[in-house]
Amino acid sequence: MTGIDLLMEEHRALEAMLDALEAATKRVRDGENVPAGAIEEIFNFCKRFTDGCHHVNEEQILFPALAAHGLTPDMTPMTVLAAQHESGRAFLEDLQNAYARLVAGDDSVRKEVHVLAREYAGMLREHIAIEDHYFRSPAAQALTPAEDERLQTAILECARGGGPCGRRDFLDLATRHRNAVATW
Ligand SMILES: [Fe+2]
Ligand SMILES: [Fe+2]
Query: pLDDT (tens digit, 9 = 90+) per residue, 101-119?
Result: 999 999 999 999 999 999 9
Q: Residues near 131 by Cβ (< 8 Å), separated by ≥ 6? A: 7, 11, 58, 81
d(CA 114, ligand 1 centre) in Å: 23
Task: Give domain limits for the chain.
Answer: 3-182
Ligand having the closest approach to the CA of 123 = 1
CATH code for the domain defined by 3-182? 1.20.120.520
User: Near ion ligand 2, which residues have CB within 5 Å?
Assistant: 131
d(CA 108, ligand 1 centre) in Å: 33
* Tens digits of residue pLDDT in 36-91: 999 999 999 999 999 999 999 999 999 999 988 988 656 678 889 999 999 999 99
Confidence of residue 139 (pLDDT cuts 50, 70, 90): confident
Among 39, 25, 17, 40, residue whose Cα is nearest residue 111: 25
**Cβ–Cβ under 8 Å, residues 167 and 155:** yes
